[in-house]
A and B are shown apart, each in its own frame.
Chain A
Amino acid sequence: MNQSHMPELPYALEASNLSVILGGQKVLEIPSLHVLPNQVLIVIGPNGSGKTTLLLSLALLLRPASGTISFDGQSISNGSEILRLRRRFAVVFQESLLLNTTVWDNVTLGLRMRGFKNDETKVRTQKWLERFGIASLARRQAKRLSGGEAKRVSLARAFALQPEVLFLDEPFAALDSPTRQALIQDLGHVLRETGVTTVMVTHDRNEALALADRVAVLINGRLRQIGLPEEVFSSPADEEVAGFVGVENILPGAVVAQKDGIASVSIEGRQIEAVSRLLPGAKVTVCLRPEDVTLTVPEPKAAASTARNRLSGRLVTTSHLDSQVRVTLDCGFPLVALITQRSCAELGLAPGREVVASFKASSVHLIARSSVFQTTGAV
């Protein structure tokens, strides 16, 4: 991975040759992972990919079968060190996991166990209750809170500890959508304000886009890609990553020409152009996000567009999502586009209709299958 744009800083947290075996099965194998200080690293991956296992290992709550974890430049080995280091971290889980007592007592709990003085405990607890907008709930019983309120308590409890590394395990997974959106926003502000080094795992790509400084993709217990969010989302390292990050058009093709950094790629006999330095002859996987495809109906005098690629095709199906419509086309190969409800209505789209699909050459990402020259490295 190209990290040349990153400043030379010591890693906050580092895992090397980490492997975890659960029930006789190797569920995690990470040759190397670095968490950079004051950054939010979000590990995404499908359910069962080992995200929580990775998080627990890094948070020193699960002993790996082998490998080392270093914090602050020191590798962690013996037991008494683990307790001391855990007390410099904080973890928020998917469930709020509050004790059966008041909100106040829940938020002070970690501080009390870590031996903070009463005054300090009070000041911090009050501050973080206010910061998460739950100061009025301080005297309430934790078990009587709504899901969103309980989650705020567990976040306040973690931030009150002022951890050097904050771990978040699917913190929003159990919340309904409006609550989740509000909380993601609040958390984003707090993360930026505090600059706390953070590792979060989630299966939700939108959370990663909203909060991450860097994104890592974990599939089947292995890190497949790590990089800036836009890098990972637009230039996935392999087909599985592409599939997981929402690239719906994953097509086999071959480079047939190359000129000034623009490669002509043949897919099922049709040609498209992509920004790539791959040379003719390279077998590639073509990746194109459906939201990067725009649709028009064929007209004699087509509107000027900067899109290099214009493919005519026939509409096969439409399916309505939240506010968008997912359109499947036959352009000689299947192509999926995501357009707004409104443009779907304006274009009068219906199965069988002739349409023109356009997309920019820069929206197309090529993964070399028989590599001639690679534009983007894997992890």
Chain B
Amino acid sequence: MDVFIQGIVQAFQLLIHGDPEVLRIGALSLAVSLSATAISLLIGVSLGTALGLTRFVGRRFLVSLINTGMGTPPVVVGLVVTILLWRNGPLGVLHLLFTPQAMIIAQVIISLPIITGFTMASIQQVDPKLRLQMLALGASRLQLLWLLIKETRLPLLAAVMAGFGAIISEVGASMMVGGNIKGQTRVFTTAIVQETGKGEFGLAMALSIILMVLVFFVNLALTTIQQKSRLR
């Protein structure tokens, strides 16, 4: 039990003193995961909308693939990205392995299926007659898409939360493609793994608490937007 109390105390100490290493880890964690979420959102919403609105041969296969992707273990993604970015791998010339960019790539791959799947499901549950009504009001193709996305903003925000939650908390891929290099690619989860391994339970606990609080506030912000737009 001591470990927990010690962790909480240490967490406060680290925050109050503005420990530079903790601040760096926090900033990088947020930067990597938020950029990955943003990129996934951009690609996933387009892809999900397209999949939700069209019918083509092989669609069912693609949808199954995406649903499987939602449950892909991060270590598998980490492995694949590592192989791709390895010095003499197909993308080795980019020299991205063990950089934050590599971590973003891996996290995009993890969160993309989640956001795509959620988007597709929410677009599909919009009444087809509403689409017809929008066309009847004079919507062009682009206007129609924009309206549908706006209309599904509540489930889409849930998709953002789910996507962000999945990658801010994953450790396997970040560890493999980032390498947990101090001051460069160390994020909360990899640092927690390392400190735990070293037996520094107090510090690990402190980092965990800070991570949880951070995730809580990001989700609180998203939830506020979501509920506000529902009740306004």
Contact = CB atoms under 8 A, between A and B. Distances in A.
A114 interface: yes
A91 B136 CA distance: 6
Given A86-B135, A91-B136, A161-B137, 19 more contacts: A56-B132, A59-B136, A61-B135, A61-B136, A83-B140, A86-B136, A86-B138, A87-B138, A93-B129, A93-B132, A95-B127, A97-B130, A97-B133, A99-B150, A100-B151, A100-B230, A113-B137, A113-B139, A113-B143
B17 interface: no
29 contacts: A56-B132, A61-B132, A83-B140, A86-B136, A86-B138, A89-B136, A90-B137, A91-B132, A91-B133, A93-B129, A93-B132, A93-B136, A95-B129, A97-B129, A99-B130, A99-B150, A100-B151, A100-B230, A102-B232, A109-B137, A109-B147, A110-B137, A113-B137, A113-B139, A113-B143, A114-B137, A114-B138, A141-B231, A161-B137
Interface of A: 56, 59, 61, 83, 86-87, 89-91, 93, 95, 97, 99-100, 102, 109-110, 113-114, 141, 157, 161, 167
A113 B138 CA distance: 6
Contacts of B232: 102, 141
B155 to A, nearest CB: 11
Interface in B137-160: 137-140, 143, 147, 150-151
Contacts of B230: 100
Contacts of B133: 91, 93, 97
Nearest to B229: A100
A102 B232 CA distance: 8
Contacts of A157: 137
Q: Which of B127, B135, B138, B231 counts the most chain A CB atoms within 10 A?
A: B138
List the 8 shortest-distance A-B pairs measured between CB atoms, nearest first.
A91-B136, A110-B137, A87-B138, A97-B133, A114-B138, A113-B138, A97-B130, A113-B143
Nearest to B132: A61
Nearest to A87: B138
Contacts of B136: 59, 61, 86, 89-91, 93, 167
A99 B147 contact: yes
Interface of B is mostly: helix
A114 B134 CA distance: 11
Interface in B94-144: 127, 129-130, 132-133, 135-140, 143
A157 B137 CA distance: 9
Interface string B151-176: 10000000000000000000000000
Contact of B138 (A99, A102, A110): A110
A187 to B, nearest CB: 18
Tell which of B130, B133, B140 has the most Cβ of chain A within 10 Å. Answer: B133
Contacts of A91: 132-133, 136
Contacts of B127: 95, 97
Nearest to B141: A83
Interface string B211-232: 0000000000000000000111
A241 B158 CA distance: 53
B152 to A, nearest CB: 9
Nearest to A94: B129
Nearest to A59: B136
A145 to B, nearest CB: 15
Contacts of A109: 137, 147
Q: Which has the most chain B C-beta neighbours within 10 Å: A83, A89, A157, A167?
A: A83
